[in-house]
Amino acid sequence: MTSEAVRRVLSGSPWEETFGYARAVAAGDRVLVAGTTAFKGPVLYGEGDPYEQAKVAFTSALDAITEFGLGPDAVVRTRMYLTHLRDVDEVGRAHKELFDSVRPVSTLLVVEGFVDPRILVEIELEAYRGAVDS
């Protein structure tokens, strides 16, 4: 695959510059969205609220795939990382509200923590954009 067949979208997250990554990368027929939290710039939305953090993180990730002309119906995989088992139902509720009719494959993991201890949820998406000329 040539470099012209790969397109990147940045969100402006300070971590993108610090760690050298993009919010989303389209490669061929796939669009991969990096781990996304409820941070928008320096502000963490939904502090202490796993449902709200999940909604904000999913919305930011979905915003990234709109840069490639895709919406929720193109999402084929989600990954949810939580810091507390107690938050599974609330994060699952946010996921169902956005993807109930889409039904992507999904993974949910409980992890020890994130780069900021106020983050309760981090998500990733993968989307399929069909046959793409490359």
Query: What are the per-10-residue average pLDDT scores of the chain (134 residues)?
Result: 70 72 90 95 94 97 95 97 98 97 97 96 95 53
Alpha helix (H) residue ranges in the chain: 14-19, 50-66, 88-99
Question: Where do the DSSP E strands lie in the chain?
Answer: 6-9, 24-27, 30-36, 39-40, 43-44, 75-82, 105-110, 121-128
Alpha-carbon distance 118 to 46, whole Å? 10
Q: Which pLDDT belongs to residue 134? A: 46
**Left, alpha or beta for 19 (phi > 0: left; psi -120 to 50: alpha)?**
alpha
Q: Which pLDDT belongs to residue 33? A: 97
Question: Which one-letter amino acid corresponds to residue 20?
Answer: G
pLDDT digits (tens, 9 = 90+) for 79-117: 999 999 999 999 999 999 999 999 999 999 999 999 999
pTM over 0.75: yes
Q: Which pLDDT belongs to residue 1? A: 46
Q: What are phi and psi of 77, to 5 degrees?
A: -150, 140
Q: How far is CA 7 from CA 48, 75, 129, in A?
A: 35, 18, 13
Alpha-carbon distance 88 to 109, whole Å? 9
Q: Which pLDDT belongs to residue 4? A: 59
Nearest CA to 77 out of 58, 105, 101 is that of 105
